[in-house]
Amino acid sequence: MGVSEHLDTADGGPLRAAVIGCGAIAYEHLPYLTSSPDALLVGLCDRSRALAEAARNRFGAGTVYTDAEAMLAAERPDVVHVLTPPQTHDALVRQALAAGAHVVCEKPMTGTAAETAALIEAAAAAGRVLVESRNLLFNDPVIALLAMIAEGRLGTVRECDILLSLDFLAGPFGDRNLAGPGADLPAGAVHDFLPHLVYLFQALTGAETADAVHGELANRSGNARAGFDFLDALVMAGQVRGRLRIATDVEPSAFRVAVRGSEASVETDLYNPFMRFDGPPDTGKRAPIGQMRGGFALVRAGFANLRNKIGQHGTTHGLPRMLAATYAALRRGDPPPITPAEMLATARLTDEIVALGAGR
CATH 3.40.50.720 residue spans of the chain: 3-134+318-349
Distance, in Å, from the CA atom of 41 to the CA atom of 30, rounded to the nearest integer, reads 8
Global confidence as pTM: 0.92
Phi/psi at 234 (5° precision): -105, 120
Q: What is the pLDDT of residues 178-223, one digit of tens each?
A: 765 557 899 999 999 999 999 999 999 999 999 999 999 999 999 9
Q: What is the pLDDT of residues 110-153, one digit of tens each?
A: 999 999 999 999 999 999 999 999 999 999 999 999 999 999 99
Amino acid residing at 266: V
Topology given in CATH for the domain delimited by 3-134+318-349:
Rossmann fold (3.40.50)
**Secondary structure element (H or E) that encloses residue 41, with its range:** strand 39-45
| DSSP 8-state code for residue 335 | P
Distance, in Å, from the CA atom of 239 to the CA atom of 207, rounded to the nearest integer, reads 9
Q: Look at the alpha carbons of 310, 316, 321, 323 in this order and tell me if their dihedral is positive or negative.
A: negative
pLDDT of residue 225: 87
Q: What percent of the chain has pLDDT over 70?
A: 93
**CATH number for the domain formed by residue range(s) 140-271:** 3.30.360.10
Say whether pLDDT at 302 is over 90. no
CATH 3.30.360.10 residue spans of the chain: 140-271
Distance, in Å, from the CA atom of 95 to the CA atom of 272, rounded to the nearest integer, reads 39
> In angstroms, what CA-CA distances link 114 with 76, 89, 118, 191, 343?
29, 14, 6, 16, 12
Distance, in Å, from the CA atom of 7 to the CA atom of 101, rounded to the nearest integer, reads 9
